[in-house]
Amino acid sequence: MGRYILRRLLQAIPVLLGITLVSFLIVHLVPGGPAQAMLGPRATPLRIEEINRTLGLDKPLPVQYVIWLGQLLRGDFGTSYFYNQPVLTLILVNTPRTLAVVGLGTIASLLLSPIGAWQAYRRGSVGDHVITVLSYFFYSMPFFWLGIIMILIFGVWLPWFPSGGITSVVGGGAATFLDWASHLVLPVATIAIGTVAGWSRYVRSSMIDTLSLDFIRTGRAKGLSETAVVLKHALRNSLLPLITLLGFSIPSLFSGALFIEVVFNYPGLGLLFWDATVQRDYPIVLGGVVVVGVLTILGNLMADVLYAVADPRIRFD
């Protein structure tokens, strides 16, 4: 197990290097480069040269890349042009908030996805059809629109939950925690609804496959109760693909989180990144891509390990 995780971590290194290289090249190969982008219409050759010199952008590209990589390894993500703060500090403050939304959204989605198994069990019933149509609908809905609808319904029409920001009271203790939790409800619900709509379809078809397998018939034949057959045997097996799906979905969960953070004005990594792209604050943009890449790879690794733990047929070598 330990060796498996170690090997997967080692395999992640070239992918990570690739991510840094791709994002570095995208930013630096643009005509004019970051300096031109930073200055925008105010760019003059002299000012561009000045910025290039102070930021070390006049050195050859490979040298710049190696320097930047060395800084990244030492945790130095540069200084934000806009906030004039170390990028690492900004990222460290914002990442846990995004992880809270993505993590809670994922847990909620995992808990709700067995609805697909119920559909498979009641295949062809009215309930199955209704849920299939609904999941097609929510699956096709962009996160940002779903978020706005949530605000319209639960923030404006039925003012149950705060529809933006992260806290509204200052202080400490239980009140603050509840306040924070209530701000999380709509963003987490949005990400969960969108995700469950996709996942439950996989669970449904996986459960349909499982229910037709021999061991289910054996279970029934030897007189197990229907509950035991369905819940203990069929359901557990048909939920396995969810773990793989979780791994696949991590990039889209982070993409979704970005839109949700923008809609709910929730100060996480996505909002930080979006602000930075609008303001052309490239140290944050580059740092954001690297951090999201790392999180995605770690998430995939976790999904693989979980899968190996959950399915005894998988070997660690």
Partner 1 sequence: MAVSLHTPSGGEFISDPTPGQRRWRTFWRSPLAWWGVGMFVAILVFCFVGPLVYHSNAMTPDLRRAMLAPGPGGPLGTDDLGRSELLRMMIGGQLSLEVAIAAGFATTFFGAAYGLLSGFLGGLWDNILMRIVDVLIALPSIFLLLLVVSLFKPTPTLLVVVIAFTSWFSVARLVRGEVLTLKRREYIDAVRAIGASSFRLMLRHLLPNAMGVVIVTATFQIGYAILSVAGLSFLGLGLPPPTPNWGQMLSSAMPYTFQNAWWLIYPPGIAIVLVELAANFVGDALSEAFDPRLREGHS
**CB 291, CB 91: distance < 8 Å:** yes
Residue length, the chain? 317
In angstroms, the CA 317 to CA 306 distance is: 15
Phi, then psi, of 264 in degrees rounded to 5: -90, 5
Does 297 sit near partner 1 (CB under 8 A)? Answer: yes
Pick the stretch among 165-173, 221-229, 230-238, 282-290 that binds partner 1 (CB under 8 A). Answer: 282-290
Which residues have a Cβ under 8 Å from the Cβ of 150 and sit 6 or more positions away?
A: 163, 186, 189, 190
Contacting partner 1 (CB under 8 A), which of 148, 185, 301, 305? 148
Residue with smaller CB distance to partner 1, 229 or 295:
295
Does 254 sit near partner 1 (CB under 8 A)? Answer: yes
Contacting partner 1 (CB under 8 A), which of 95, 293, 303, 308? 293
Contacting partner 1 (CB under 8 A), which of 35, 91, 192, 285? 285
Buried b or exposed e, range 239-262, using 16+ CB within 10 angstroms? bbbbbebbbebbeebbebbbbbbb
**CB 87, CB 287: distance < 8 Å:** yes
Pick the stretch among 2-10, 69-77, 185-193, 199-207 that binds partner 1 (CB under 8 A). Answer: 199-207
Q: What is the DSSP letter of 166?
A: S
Pick the stretch among 81-89, 122-130, 141-149, 179-187 that binds partner 1 (CB under 8 A). Answer: 141-149
Pick the stretch among 72-80, 92-100, 152-160, 220-228 that binds partner 1 (CB under 8 A). Answer: 152-160
Single out the residue of 10, 57, 69, 37 nearest to residue 282, CA to CA: 37
Q: How many Cα atoms occupy the beta-carbon half-sphere of 63 within 13 Å?
A: 5
Contacting partner 1 (CB under 8 A), which of 77, 121, 266, 273? 273
Does 25 sit near partner 1 (CB under 8 A)? Answer: no
Residues that bind partner 1 (CB under 8 A): 14-15, 18-19, 21-23, 26-27, 30, 37, 136-137, 139-142, 144-145, 148-149, 151-152, 155-157, 201-202, 205, 248, 250-255, 258-259, 262-263, 273-274, 277-278, 280, 285, 288-289, 292-293, 296-297, 300
